[in-house]
Structures are given as structure tokens and as C-alpha cells.
Amino acid sequence: MDLFAWVGCVDTSSPLIFTVVFLCGIWLLGSSGGPSNWPPGPKSWSPIGTAKAFLSNDQMYLTMTELANKYGEIAHLRFGLHGHIVVLTGHKIIREAFVDKGEYFANRPTFYAEYTHKGKGILYAHGNDMKLLKRFTLKTLKDFGVGKSSLEEKMIEEVGFLMGEIDSKGGLPFYPKPLLANAVANIICSMAFGQRYDYDNEEFKQLLKSLLIATQNGGAKHIPACWLPTRLHFVLPQLWDVINADRKTKVFIRKCISEHRESFDEDSLRDLIDIYLKAEKDGEESGALTDANLFQVIADLFYAGSDTTSTSITWLLLYMIRNPDVQKRCREEIFQVIGQDRQPCLKDRGTLPYMEATLLEIHRLGSVLSTALTHTVSKPVKFRGYDLPEGTLVIPNLYQSHMDPEIWEDPFAIKPDRWLDENNKLKTNPAFMPFGVGCRMCIGETLARMQMFLFGTALLQRFEFRMVDADNPPTTEGLYGMSRVPYKYELLASAT
Ligand code: HEM
């Protein structure tokens, strides 16, 4: 449904209607609140505001880049009466806001999360409880297995299942995303619930379907919601999809948590849920570990950690089939260093510079969370000379930072060598921030990088991936939702 279609129905050529619309516009603008020195941006008399144009584009980060080209690295848009959006473009200004002045840009908008998250968990929460939960979850992820051999074994085992599924395609074309989503979600399931699921398990399939709907329809796509009073958000159809999908995801999680409660033994902690239950019982983290928060944190790990990583590997395979020379160099390096008799493991990190540089290129080119997750101003702040009131929505254009021709030569091309210095060592670049920066930065970076390495190297070691029709390469444009996903494509896989 086009939310704005009704505007076109008004015949503004009638003087009376024109006057009414004009006066309403002035009234609405006057009551839009906030300071008089907003950053520069388009002006509009429309009660809907100036954000409409930038939301009509599926690839919002491109429209945001155009906005920056016109108005500069900080630009302002208005949505309806109360929605003020500030768009930040360029790594310097993003770091200045989220790192140097992080405490002022630390909140999240609550709009649709009112229905799904209810201020609980990490992703769409803020305040002290969220900080305690985030710290606790980071520590638990670390203690429980990230970087440890037990988790590595699970990942290597899961890669084995994934490769079996790819083998079973018998060389016929297939779309890799669903298989990758199964495999990556199983890593979170192993960590959170202590078990993995077969790819044809109906309950698991339903969970993945719901996660996909929630992430594809989530993220900054919901900014129109700030045009409406909170209790009316439900009229947005894309919100309904998210709410329904979230409900189904939570049925699954609720069942797993209650099974854990029944079999809980504090002397034998099996997984993340057990660790939370123990900490909740012991009253750790000043009471932030409530039942509701536990439930939402597990859901958040699925939302934030499952689709992002499987999408990144889907980008990897897409760029590999489009660039067989890069794929060949990665494989030659893997064969040379590891051979073909064993699967890659984490100890191999640091020994495959070209492969690892390729993975960095994929994070840059894929820019999976291209506009991060929307922030809001947590307390009034003077920033770059502008007064930003509490509640202002802040969107960082990470995609532009990864594609800025001033920083990256030939930015749309995959060039792993750009990450290697003269000694074949990996280089960093301050404009590279696929996991965000500052206090709302991703907590899953280590886990995601582990998975990208183990999955990526094992797949390229075992299979050669090719395009189905070399004359019609699949596009590298992305579909925009909570994450930026490649358009559906098929590939061929043959054993090396
Ligand atoms: C390639 C994979 C991943 C990418 C590109 C990615 C990227 C990001 C980005 C850009 C943010 C938002 C930062 C901001 O709003 O400023 C974020 C937040 C978050 N990520 Fe990740 N992420 C990935 C994987 C994971 C994994 C595996 C987990 C956990 C299992 C995870 C958990 C989270 C959580 C909980 C947040 C919210 C942090 C907060 O609100 O304070 N992510 N991620």
C-alpha cells in the first residue's frame, strides 16, 4: 500500500482546497517542534514532510548518499509532525557522533519495537538495563565459546552438514541463501539451546521463515512509523508482517526456554539459556536479568546474528561466481597452505592473507547493515553547531563510507589486494565499519568473523562455484531491509 497515495487525490487546483492545504501546512510546520537550527536539508510545506522521497527508494542508502551530495555530511529530514531524522555521511562524522559523543547518540527509536520488543533485550532497548544486559551477553558469548574449540568444533561440524546439502544438489543450479541461513541459525541454536536442527525439521523451517520476514521488513524501513502516534503504528502493513513473524519466532523460543527451566541443573550449564537462568537466580547484573529480558535477548541474537552472517556468505558466493579469478586465487592459497585433506580451522587464520582480505572486501561490498540500526539522540546535544533535541532519529550511512570513491579506488570492484601491504599483511581502514562503531556497536563481530572464515574457506576448498549463465551475471545490487541482501540468484557447485 502506498501510504502517500491519498495526497495525490486532493485537487489542489481548487482555490479553497489549496488555501486549506496551505494553511494546514503552515500550521503543521509551525508545530513540528524542535530547534530552529536544524542541519540543512530539503524544505517542504507538505504535512508529510521531506522524508517521503528518501523512503520511496528500496535502496535507501543510495538516496541518503544523494542527500549528502546536496546538503553535506549532516543533513536533516522531517517526517510528519514529530519525526526528525538526521543523516550522517562519512566515517569521520559517524565516529565523532557515535564514539566521541556516544553518550548523546546511544538510544534506539521505539516505534515498532513497542509491539515486538517492548523495551526489553538489547537491539531496540536503551538505558541502564540494556547496558548491563549487553555487557553480560558479550561476556557470556566470550566465556561460552566464541574463540573456543568447543564452538569451533560445532561450526566445523555444521559446515560438514552444509557441504552435504550442496553435494546433494548434484551439480544442478540452486539458490544458496536458504541453506546458508539454516547452517548459520544452527550455530546460534547450538549456543543458545544446546542443539542443532535438521534442515528439513518443520519447526526449524518455520523459525527461519519468520526470521526472514522480520529482518527483511525491519530496520529503517519503519521510519514512516514515526509519522504516526505510537498507538497507530499498527496501520502500517509492513509492521504487521514483522509483528506476526516476531510472534511466531517467540513461540519457538518460549518453548525452548521453558524446556530448559524444567531440566535446569546449575551444576551442569549446557548453553546460553542455562547461563542466563543461573545468573538470574543469583540476582546478577542488578536485576536486569529478568524472564522478559532473557526471552528478548535470545530473540535478539537470532535477529541480529543469523540473517546478517548468512547474508554475508551469500554475498561472498555471489562475488566469487562473478569473479572466478579471485575465487581461483583464494582456492590456490587454501590448497597451498592447508591442502585438501583436512577442513580449515581457526588456527589457519593469519596464514591465508588473500582469503582473509577477500572476506574484508565482502564485508565492505556487501555492507549488510548498510545504515546500521537507527539511533536516537538520548539527551539534547550541540553537534557540529546544530542543536539536536532528544528523540531525533540518527541514521549513519555505512554503505557510503564503504563505497566512497575518495577512499576506495574503483569502489564497486572486488580488489582483495587493497587490504594487503607490501609484506602481504592485512591493513585496516578507518572508513571500514561493517559492525558499526561506538557504544551501540555489534556484539557479534568475533562470532561473525569466525563463521565467515570457517564457512568461506571450507566452501571454497571443497567446491568450485560458477554462474548458471555466464552471459547474464546476477546483479550486485542489494535488496534493502534490516539487512542488505543480494537479489535471488542461482549458482552451480562442483567438487574441486
Ligand atoms: C556479518 C555479520 C554481522 C554484521 C555485519 C553485523 C553488524 C552490526 C551492526 C552494523 C550493528 C548496529 C550498530 C549500530 O547501530 O550502531 C549491529 C548490532 C548488533 N549486532 Fe551485529 N552484525 C553481525 C553479526 C552479529 C552476530 C553474529 C550477533 C550475535 C550473535 C550480533 C549481535 C548484534 C547485537 C545484539 C546488536 C545490537 C547492539 C546494540 O544495540 O547495542 N551481530 N550489528
Residue 1 lies in a domain: no
Q: In angstroms, what is the span from residue 448 Cα to ligand 1's centroid? A: 9
CB atoms within 10 A of CB 58: 13
Please report where in the chains the cell 504516526 appears, as a residue: 228
Range of the domain at 139: 32-495
Q: What is the pLDDT of residues 186-220, one digit of tens each?
A: 999 998 888 899 999 998 988 888 888 877 776 65
DSSP letters for 134-159? HHHHHHHHHHHTTTSHHHHHHHHHHH
Per-residue pLDDT band for 251 (boundaries 50, 70, 90) equals: confident
Q: Which residues are annotated as a binding site?
A: 442
Residue 318 lies in a domain: yes
Closest CA to 243 of 134, 118, 381: 118
Closest CA to 431 of 402, 411, 462: 402
Q: In angstroms, what is the span from residue 435 Cα to ligand 1's centroid? A: 6
Residue 9 lies in a domain: no
Q: Which residues are annotated as a binding site for heme?
A: 442
Q: In angstroms, what is the span from residue 172 Cα to ligand 1's centroid? A: 34
Best residue among 442, 451, 485 to mutate for probing ligand 1, ranked by most atoms within 8 Å of CB: 442
Per-residue pLDDT band for 8 (boundaries 50, 70, 90) equals: very low
Length of the chain: 496
Residue 2 lies in a domain: no
- Ligand 1 atom closest to the Cα of residue 451 is 27
H-helix or E-strand spanning residue 55 = helix 52-55
Alpha-carbon distance of 467 to 453, in angstroms, equals: 23
Q: Which residues line ligand 1 (CB under 6 A)?
A: 122-123, 134, 300-301, 304-305, 308-309, 312, 368-369, 372-373, 434-436, 440-444, 447-448
Alpha-carbon distance of 467 to 318, in angstroms, equals: 9
Residue 22 lies in a domain: no
This prediction has a pTM of 0.90
- Ligand 1 atom closest to the Cα of residue 98 is 16
Considering only CA atoms, which residue is closest to atom 30 of ligand 1?
305
Per-residue pLDDT band for 43 (boundaries 50, 70, 90) equals: confident
Has residue 53 got a pLDDT over 90?
A: no
Please report where in the chains the cell 564497486 appears, as a residue: 412
Residue 145 lies in a domain: yes
Contact criterion met (CB below 8 Å) for 105 and 375: yes
What would the mean pLDDT of 334-346 be, rounded to a whole number? 96
**Phi, psi of 473, rounded to the nearest 5 degrees:** -65, 140
Residue 12 lies in a domain: no
**Phi, psi of 85, rounded to the nearest 5 degrees:** -120, 130
- Ligand 1 atom closest to the Cα of residue 311 is 1
Residue 5 lies in a domain: no
Provide CB contacts within 8 A for 284, sequence distance 6+. Answer: 136
Considering only CA atoms, which residue is closest to atom 19 of ligand 1?
442
**pLDDT at residue 218 in the model:** 64
CA atoms within 13 A on the CB side of 262: 6
Per-residue pLDDT band for 432 (boundaries 50, 70, 90) equals: very high
Q: In angstroms, what is the span from residue 396 Cα to ligand 1's centroid? A: 14
Alpha-carbon distance of 44 to 29, in angstroms, equals: 9
Contact criterion met (CB below 8 Å) for 68 and 75: yes
Alpha-carbon distance of 426 to 135, in angstroms, equals: 29
CATH number at residue 289: 1.10.630.10
User: What total of structural domains would you count in the chain?
Assistant: 1
Maximum mean pLDDT: which of 81-90, 245-254, 325-334? 325-334
